[in-house]
Amino acid sequence: MSIIIQNVSKAFGDVDVLKDLSFEVKTGELIALLGPSGSGKTTLLRSIAGLEVIDSGNILFHGDDTKDKTVQERQVGFVFQHYALFKHMTVFENVAFGLRVRDKKSRPSESEIERKVHELLQLVQLDYLGKRYPSQLSGGQRQRIALARALAIEPQLLLLDEPFGALDAKVRKELRKWLRRLHDELHITSVFVTHDVEEALEVADRIVIMNEGRIEQIGTPEEVYHHCANAFVYQFIGNVNLFHGRVEDKVAHFGNVSVSLPETSEQETKDTVFYVRPHDLDIHHSAPDSTAFKAKIDHVHLAGPVVRVDLTSEWGDPVHVEITQDYYLSMTFQKGMDVFVSPKDGRLFMQDYSI
Amino acid sequence: MKRHAAITEPRWIRYLLIGISILFLISFLITPLILIFVKAFEGGIGLYLKAFVEPEALAAMRLTALVVCIAVPLNTIFGLCASWAITKFEFRGKGFLLTLIDLPFTVSPVISGLIFVLLFSDKSWLGGIFYNLGIQIIFSTPGIVMVTTFVTFPFVARELIPLMQSQGIEEEEAALTLGATGWQTFWRVSLPNIKWGLMYGIILCTARAVGEFGAVSVVSGHIRGLTNTMPLHIEILYNEYNFTAAFAVSSLMVFGALVTLLIKHYIEWRMKGEKRL
């Protein structure tokens, strides 16, 4: 089922949580709503499910407006961050709930319910837990049961609210790979909310990046990672160094470094910020070119796949650089050493863009 | 559990505190309880049983049963509605409603009784309306039911509100997304989650409704065989120096209280078990 979000706005009291949002989810897609807390992503998800009422705009399922449809009528599968399993029911009864509450005409027979529940429990690989109670399961098992329960009503749309948010790092990673595989099997249109960039990049077909109730960028993981639409996305999607400077006569000045910008259309003098990822900075013993600046090594973190070096630039700003273990060993950098740092890549955003 | 000496009190302090507690309980609780039964059986089992077959005693027991049967269900429904409203919805005046629920706890029962006398006496505006309809409220069963309901109404709500607040509304929302109607959600999800808390509240409410004296005393008028509840009946027997009968009826109430305590203990044990899961 396709979803169209058209100019959706919502406020809680004086606070605008959704500000004129529009986008589309195609049939069978797996979409991530990514953003920091307070960006409105969960409110948007709950609005799609019908658990919140939007103030203006339209949400269309398959081209039909959902304005007058109750939660029950929308028939969406919803998975909650804290599972929301029914504590007093067994796993089996939890999954069977959506079938048992149907009216007499459409309710399947007892044997049909049993067959269906076991099929779903097999799908989430937990058929052997049917007689247990939710409190006897681990977090990862609970979330898979919650998913099986949501799938029992055969939803056309699956909504997941920070589905792995309450799990520890290792289980999270396993479960998100598993979710991706499950989606490839079932092809149910799915939207999940996350604040974990890595999770969104790994799992989603497309990512909607939200901030303060607005959409900052929509695109595939590759697009949002390599072609950030603006300063916010650039900062949110990965670690970043900020260099504040000024653009004057098509030349940008940062500390003692000047870079000419022949293509800029800026005429007047403006404040600017240069964004560079830690792995796009190099450290040298002597200045390789005019873009290099002096810095002092404060600390070297050797644990991990890359070496992380903390420095202070000659004008006093902290700088973070990531270099390979091999490069580190060949160059013999040490704490307290004066070195030169030069950027390989980066993005310039004018300061009037608010972040 | 054995604990290290450094984090616990010296032995003599522990024994002193435990000793004081036990002494206190024996002198102020257990001795009087035993005395009630001793006094009740003083005249032999025949006299003891006779106290219950008196028509006035039977009428008092019937009236108490009637009052409990009306007041407790009313307060159960009220308690469910109030705690539902307070925990599941956001609205203005929530704090005020919470304070109002506590009112019967803070006002002396005698004053509660007097308020009802003022409200429903024949000469008052409201009482006049009922008087013209031929319904007597004060010095009659309706008045007794009303004050008992008033005095006992916080019990169920007070028990449920913290429980429901700690549970939140996620399970209800999950039920709705799975297609359950509001009614189905209440019966299949909300009620099973609060059943032990609800039982606990009902037990406390019942115990108080049976034993209420002050407020009932004010509105009852003490008409023998008509408006005397069990506690009032005991008082009359006592004032007439009919100690054996007074203590016999008391022993019945004490027995009821002990059973209530047992049930309460069982429920607490179940609630704890459920929380641990």
Instruction: Report the percent of chain A where pLDDT is more than 70.
Output: 97
Q: What is the pLDDT of residue A4?
A: 95
Position A291 pLDDT exceeds 70: yes
Cα A325–Cα A331–Cα A335 angle in degrees, nearest 5: 85
Position B21 pLDDT exceeds 90: yes
Quick one: closest CA in A to B178, which residue? A98
Radius of gyration, alpha carbons of chain B: 23
Instruction: Report the percent of chain B where pLDDT is more than 70.
Output: 96
Angstrom CA distances, A105 to A100, A102, B116, B132, stand at 12, 8, 53, 54
B174/A87 CB distance under 8 A = no
Q: How far is B189 from chain A (nearest CA, A)?
A: 7
Q: How far apart are the first and last CA of chain B?
A: 23
Q: How far is A181 from chain B (nearest CA, A)?
A: 24
Q: What is the pLDDT of residue B275?
A: 55
Q: Report pLDDT digits (tens) over B200-248.
A: 899 999 999 998 999 999 988 888 888 889 999 999 989 998 888 888 8
Position A265 pLDDT exceeds 70: no
B171/A149 CB distance under 8 A = no
Which of B177, B193, B274 shows the shortest C-beta gap to A78?
B177
Residue of A42, A66, A69, A72 to mutate, testing the B interface (most B Cβ within 10 Å of its Cβ): A72
Q: What is the pLDDT of residue A354?
A: 42
Position A308 pLDDT exceeds 50: yes
Tell me, letter by letter, the H, E, C secondary structure of chain A: CCEEEEEEEEEECCEEEEEEEEEEECCCCEEEEECCCCCCHHHHHHHHHCCCCCCEEEEEECCEECCCCCHHHHCEEEECCCCCCCCCCCHHHHHHHHHHCCCCCCCCCHHHHHHHHHHHHHHCCCHHHCCCCHHHCCHHHHHHHHHHHHHCCCCCEEEEECCCCCCCHHHHHHHHHHHHHHHHHHCCEEEEEECCHHHHHHHCCEEEEEECCEEEEEECHHHHHHCCCCHHHHHHHCCCEEEEEEEECCEEEECCEEEECCCCCCCCCEEEEEEECHHHEEEECCCCCCCCEEEEEEEEECCCCEEEEEEEECCCCEEEEEEEHHHHHHHCCCCCCEEEEEECCCEEEECCCCC
Position A41 pLDDT exceeds 70: yes
CB B198 within 8 A of CB B83: no
- Locus of tokens 């034993």: B211
Range B59-66 average pLDDT = 92
Residue of B90, B163, B177 to mutate, testing the A interface (most A Cβ within 10 Å of its Cβ): B177
Range A154-158 average pLDDT = 93
Tell me, letter by letter, the H, E, C secondary structure of B220-249: HCCCCCCCCCHHHHHHHHHHCCCHHHHHHH
CB A335 within 8 A of CB A296: no
Which of A51, A85, A88 shows the shortest C-beta gap to B173?
A51
If we measure between CA atoms, which residue out of B182, B1, B165 comes closest to residue B83?
Answer: B165
In angstroms, how far is CA A19 from the centroid of its own chain? 19
Residue type, B240: E
CA distance A158 to A167: 20
Q: How many CB atoms within 10 Å of residue A81?
A: 17
Beta bridge partners of B173: none
Position A355 pLDDT exceeds 90: no
The two structure tokens encoding residue A67: 């304005």
CA distance B155 to B120: 25
Position B261 pLDDT exceeds 80: yes
Show which of residues 136-195 on chain B sit within 8 Å of chain A, judged by CB atoms.
170-171, 173-181, 184, 188-189, 192-193
CA distance A213 to A5: 14
Angstrom CA distances, A194 to A39, A151, A201, B188, stand at 11, 20, 11, 31
| Mean predicted lDDT score pLDDT of chain A | 90
B178/A87 CB distance under 8 A = no
Confidence of residue A135 (pLDDT cuts 50, 70, 90): very high
Instruction: Report the percent of chain B where pLDDT is more than 90.
Output: 37
Edge-first strand listing for the sheet containing A293-301: A281-284, A338-343, A293-301, A306-313, A318-324
Residues from chain A contacting residue B181 (CB–CB below 8 Å): 72, 101
Q: How far is B134 from chain A (nearest CA, A)?
A: 48
B177/A133 CB distance under 8 A = no
Residues from chain B contacting residue A149 (CB–CB below 8 Å): 174, 178
| Mean predicted lDDT score pLDDT of chain B | 88
**A vs B: CB pairs below 8 A:** 66
Residues from chain B contacting residue A49 (CB–CB below 8 Å): 177
CA distance B117 to B120: 5
Q: What is the pLDDT of residue A180?
A: 92
Position A208 pLDDT exceeds 70: yes
Select the more confidently predicted residue: B177 or A349: B177
Residue B8 DSSP code? S
Least confident of A100-114, A199-213, B10-24, B34-48: B34-48
CA distance A205 to A30: 5
Range A60-82 average pLDDT = 92
Position A266 pLDDT exceeds 70: no
Position B277 pLDDT exceeds 50: no
Q: What is the pLDDT of residue B243?
A: 85
